[in-house]
Every structure is written in structure tokens, then in C-alpha cells.
Structure 1
Amino acid sequence: MKPLDVGRLNKQIILISFKPGKDRLHQDIREPVESKPIWATVKPQRGSEPYEAGKKQPEQQYTVTIRYRNGVTTDMLVKYGEKILQIESCVDVEEEHYMIELQCTEKEGAR
């Protein structure tokens, strides 16, 4: 196992998962559940502007690196300051269970 350079983990994020629940009208909803703050490295990658219904929709992509933890999936969100990032992929770096790289996308207007 390679040692993790914890000095690089200098930003705090919160992982948001969802649990099933019911609203006042007994309709099914997904209730957000926030983790405790997690130390991470957050690096902006590149922006893109995909077209949706004939309009540009700006996106910013990020690579978020955290210590390994079980249960991190693409169904979760990352809260970084005021930004909400959608997890596109989770990679167990070198499959050694010491670090996870999350490829995330922030869509403009998701704040």
C-alpha cells in the first residue's frame, strides 16, 4: 500500500446520499443525508458547454480525491462550498483501498 499524502487533502467536502422516505402526502421521496465533513483534494479540470434544447449549458468538471471509504457511489452528490457536484465515476486508485478519485460535474445553476 502506498502512503497517502494527507497534506494534499486540504479542502472540506460533504458527501450527500439519499434514503427513501415519504412526504406529508405519503408520496415516495428521496431524502438527502449529509456525511460529516471529509478532507479532500478538489481540482477543476475543464469546462464544457453541451447543447440542450438549442441552448448552451455550461458545465465545470472536477476531480475530487478522498481517503478510501466504503459505499461511495455515482448516486451521491458532493457539496463543496456552495457548489453541488454530481459524481460521474468513482475509482479506487490502483484498487488498493487507500484513495478514491471522484470525477464530478457541476452544472451551472445547481448552486
Structure 2
Amino acid sequence: MRIGKLRHRVTIQEYVASRDSFGAENPEWIDLKTVWANVSPVSGKEYFASQQLSAEITTKIMMRYRPGITPKMRVIFDDRIFEIISVINLESQNIELNLMCKEEVQGG
């Protein structure tokens, strides 16, 4: 891994659901860790949903290996939210992770 390519600061978040005093679920995303990464778009598509133009962008986020990252988490980068689709431990060497993510953009 070339460390110089990791020029973006991203935050890994985990979904936590707690219950209030009435038993209602209070969903919330909490920050786990902010790390250096390389964020690069891979592909994109546009489609109509609910009479509205939407876009879906597939993005690869490359970062140093960190255990415990799962598709149940998400990544925040520059006020953009990326849903983690898959976590790839490159060559199973525990050196580099490639996160394949999806970003949905509404409007257009």
C-alpha cells in the first residue's frame, strides 16, 4: 500500500439502536474512528424513483487494515454518506481494506 495515496479523512460509523423510557427505539449512528483513506468513484447510474431523478454512485474506499469493519457500518466523507456494501481484506494480508460503497444522491 502506498501511504501517500491516503489523502482523505473519513469517519467510520456504527448503527446503534437504544430504547427510550417508553420502549421506543432510538436509532443513531455513532463515530467509531476517523482514518486516512483514498476515496475514488468506480461507477454511477441515474434512475427515476417516486417521480424524482436519483443517482447511485459506487465508490471504492481504500484504507489501512482495521479489524471489525462490516457492511452494517457506513462511511462519512465531506458531508457525504456511503453505505458499505462489501469489505475486502486485500490478499488476506491484514494490511489494506477496500470498502465497496454505495452513495445515493437525490434530486437532479
Given the two structures, how large is their TM-score scaled by the length of structure 1? Answer: 0.84
Aligned to 2:101: 104
Deviation at 1:49, TM superposition (A): 2.3
Give structure 1 stretches of 5+ with no counterpart: none
Q: Percent identity?
A: 25
Residues matched between the structures, number: 106
Q: Which moved more, 1:55-64 or 1:66-75?
A: 55-64
SS of the counterpart of 2:33?
A: coil
What is the alpha-carbon distance in structure 1 between the residues aligned to residue 23 and residue 78 of structure 2?
Answer: 33
Q: 1:42 aligns with which of 11, 28, 39?
A: 39
Taking the TM superposition and a 5 Å limit, the aligned residue runs for 1:18-57 are 18-23=15-20, 25-52=22-49, 56-57=53-54
1:37 maps to a residue whose letter is T
User: Aligned-residue CA RMSD in angstroms?
Assistant: 1.7
Taking the TM superposition and a 5 Å limit, the aligned residue runs for 1:53-92 are 56-92=53-89
Give structure 2 stretches of 5+ with no counterpart: none
What is the alpha-carbon distance in structure 1 between the residues aligned to residue 12 and residue 42 of structure 2?
Answer: 20
Instruction: Give every structure 1 segment of 4 or more consecutive aligned residues whose post-TM-superposition deviation is greater than 2 Å.
Output: 23-26, 28-31, 49-57
Report the structure, 1 or 2, having the larger strand content: 2
SS of the counterpart of 1:108?
A: strand
